[in-house]
Copies of this chain bind each other. A is one copy, B any other.
Amino acid sequence: MAHKTTLKAIAEHLNLSISTVSKALADSPEISDATKLVVKTAARQLKYRPNAMARGLKSSRTKTIGVVIPNIMHNFFAKVIMGMEDEATKNGYSLVTCISNESLQKEKQSINMLSDVSVDAIIISLSSETQQTEELEHLNDILYFDIPLVQFDRVNEKLLSHSVVINDFKGAYDSTMHLHKTGCRHIALLSILTNTSVGKKRAEGYEAAVRELGYEPKIINTKLENLEADLSAFLKDNDLDGIVTTDESSAIYAMNALRINNRRVPDDVGVIGFTDGALARNYFPPLTTIKQQAEIIGKRTIQIAIESLEAKTKKDPIQETIETELVIRKSTRTI
């Protein structure tokens, strides 16, 4: 098989020393323009590409950033990754992405592996298991070694790291208020995100709005599998003309359940979701939803990671909140 050309190979080819070649390619002022030219053309001809491992071993900088997400099937995370990829590439970094699949153990493994390959920084959105157990040792290890850590979306505030989250409280608050404006007076929260930080924040936002409006919160905690049954049961015993959900899928499931129970959307019940994905846009009726600005989160997350790893001195954690946007479509009445 052919083998990759190394500095040594070009050096021998040109009867120069390895270090001269290295410096020439790095455009060092120590080297004459003449030899630079010779070296560079030779390098191009021989298709020289520097070995990132060797370079990394020397400089302990790898120009890679590790990312751990709980789940890739979720539209939100896919979009975040897009935003990250884009921003990372622009800055000459590449991403190595791991999926924890909501499991603490897999998350630990991923963190270990990222640490093994010496990524320059780590970005993470916590698995639901991690959020429940609050076991954070693996992440504290990262901080201990001064590897920049930035959490996003599902974060734990006990961890002294950078973070970027959306304003979940305000998103849910705004949703509730919007339903109220369209005439809803019996608004419930339908949540399948009971275990995560974002789920809790959204519940708080909903509660605050409802209390401000002067009535009692009604929260249905369920799972996607049981949603239809639980919502149907709820409908038997309660007045309901508005639903705030914690995510896109449960909004869709809720609308399907409402249809089965002969409630029309939005005439009988208004529905608002979180995450502005393909489902929300293309369902019938199209879903009014809270847009999470996923690409922007991805972008900021990378920017903070790079800033942090390139900083000479360690700075205080940056906590950033990205504002959401209410996208009004047809699952809520017009005002």
Contact = CB atoms under 8 A, between A and B. Distances in A.
Interface of A: 1-4, 47, 49-54, 56-57, 62, 64, 72-73, 75, 78-79, 81-82, 85, 89, 94-99, 101, 106, 109, 112-113, 115-118, 141, 144-146, 249, 252-253, 256, 259, 278-279, 282-284
Contacts of A109: 89
Given A1-B146, A50-B116, A82-B99, A282 B57 contact: no
B72 A146 contact: no
Contact of A279 (B72, B73, B106, B278): B278
Contact of A249 (B73, B75, B282): B282
A329 B266 CA distance: 26
Contacts of A53: 53, 56-57, 62, 117-118
Number of copies: 2
Contact of A3 (B145, B253, B259): B145
Contacts of A62: 53
Contacts of A112: 49
Contact of A52 (B75, B78, B118): B118
B1 A51 contact: no
A85 B99 contact: yes
A57 B55 CA distance: 10
15 contacts: A2-B146, A3-B145, A4-B115, A4-B145, A49-B112, A51-B116, A53-B57, A53-B117, A64-B96, A73-B79, A73-B278, A96-B96, A256-B282, A279-B282, A284-B284
Contact of A82 (B49, B73, B89): B73
A72 B81 contact: yes
Contact of A2 (B145, B259, B278, B279): B145
